[in-house]
Structure 1
Amino acid sequence: MPGRKQFDVDEALDRAMRVFWERGYADASLDTLGTATGLGRGSLYGAFGNKDALFRSCLDRYASRYGTHHEEALTAHAGDPARAVEAFLEATLARIEDPSLPTGCLIAQSAAQSATLEEDSGARVRALLEGQRRRVRAALAPAPAEGHVLDELATYVVAVNQSLAVLSRAGTPVSELRAVARLARTTVADTLARAADGGGRPPA
């Protein structure tokens, strides 16, 4: 039919997402993206806009696909914040261990390359990180602790989560990453226990 796209948009996005994931925004050239997707520059621009717009579409696709696993992990343990955090980090480790996927995390890699991103793309990366922090904060909400303690814990958990991705990209063994995740879970559990006992804010 006239005007009908002669390619699978979802498949093209998946392939472009993998290029950005493996190479980072700066090193994902239009030629490389075209080779990966099988599309010429004209088709890429026609379907997705410019490189920056395509990158944002890939970020959203990544967040939708893998963010769902994190959301399910958190909600599966409603009322048990420490267990929810453990499951949240386990979702990241499961992705890291998947041999069919690139190492690291597209969002973590993009955050590290923020200086190379256009303003809109940088804002999208920050928004995705903030969304992750809000989901973790919601999972911590049932804990009997002051709001500022839960806020700090949520930021801490997101920081650990992103660190797991960065360390995996640097070749850190999964066994060591799991040790980091266990310590994070213990830190959250101990902090919440102190708060429940009236200990308040964790020591600096």
Structure 2
Amino acid sequence: MAGRKQFDVDEALRRAMHVFWRWGYSEASIDRLTEGTGLGRGSLYGTFGDKSTLFRKSLERYAQTYHPLYEQALSGPHPSPSAVVAAYLQVTLNRIADPTVPDGCLLTVSATQFPALDAEGQAMVRAMIDGLRAMLRQALLAAGAGEQEAAELALCTLATNKSLAVLSRTGFSSEDLATVAAAAARGPSPQAQGGVCRST
């Protein structure tokens, strides 16, 4: 039929998401996007709009794919705040270990290139990060953490999550990443003085 798209739009978006995930917004050139999706420029623009719009659609697709996994992991019940942290970071480790996707995290690499994004892209990245933080805080409260502890530990867990994504892109082993996650869930030793990243 005339005018009918001869490609799978959802698959093309998944591939575009991987291009942004691998290269980041700044280095995800139109040439790389056309090569990665298998679409010509006309089809790419005609289907998804400009690069900024395609990026936002890719980020939305990423959230739809992975954020429900975090929601499920945090749904509990969890016996302690430490168990919440461990469950959350295990989702991150599982994604990093998946050989079918790029290393790291699309949300993290997008945050590192924040100034390159337009206002809508920046707002979307920040809203997604804030949403994850709020999700963690609620799960920690449900596991028995106090208000201040839940707020602090949610922030520290989120920071650890982003650190794991960065380390994975620089070749750290799965064993090293698991060590980071386990230490974050365990919290500081009893001898440690101060510090907010406690999960006991």
TM superposition score normalised by structure 2: 0.89
Length, aligned pairs only = 193
2:18 pairs with 1:27 = no
2:47 pairs with 1:56 = no
Q: CA deviation at 1:49?
A: 1.3
Q: Does the Cα contact within 8 Å between 2:84 and 2:143 map onto a contact in 1?
A: no
Could you tell which deviates more after superposition, 96-105 or 75-84?
Answer: 75-84
**Aligned equivalent of 1:177:** 177
User: Equivalents in 1 of 2:74, 2:42: separation in Å?
Assistant: 42
2:120 pairs with 1:120 = yes
Cα–Cα, structure 1 residues 145 and 19, in superposed 2: closer, same or farther, change >3 Å?
closer
**Aligned equivalent of 2:165:** 165
Q: CA deviation at 1:36?
A: 1.6
Q: Tell me, which stretches of 5 or more residues in structure 2 are unaligned?
A: 196-200
**Aligned equivalent of 1:203:** 194
**Aligned equivalent of 1:196:** none
Q: How does 1:20-99 map to 2 (within 5 A)?
A: 20-78=20-78, 80-99=80-99
User: Equivalents in 2 of 1:169, 1:145: separation in Å?
Assistant: 32
Seq. identity, %: 49
Could you tell which deviates more after superposition, 138-147 or 89-98?
Answer: 138-147
Q: Does the Cα contact within 8 Å between 2:81 and 2:145 map onto a contact in 1?
A: no
Secondary structure, counterpart of 2:108 in structure 1 = helix
User: Equivalents in 1 of 2:145, 2:74: separation in Å?
Assistant: 18
2:108 pairs with 1:108 = yes
Q: Tell me, which stretches of 5 or more residues in structure 1 are unaligned?
A: 192-201
Q: CA deviation at 1:4?
A: 3.1
User: Equivalents in 2 of 1:78, 1:48: separation in Å?
Assistant: 41
Secondary structure, counterpart of 2:27 in structure 1 = coil
User: Equivalents in 1 of 2:78, 2:88: separation in Å?
Assistant: 12
TM superposition score normalised by structure 1: 0.87
Secondary structure, counterpart of 1:104 in structure 2 = coil
Residue by residue, what CA displacement relative to the aligned partner does 1:153-189 show, whole Å, maximum 9, x if unpaired?
111110001100000101111111111111111129x
Q: Does the Cα contact within 8 Å between 1:73 and 1:91 map onto a contact in 2?
A: yes
Cα–Cα, structure 1 residues 203 and 185, in superposed 2: closer, same or farther, change >3 Å?
same
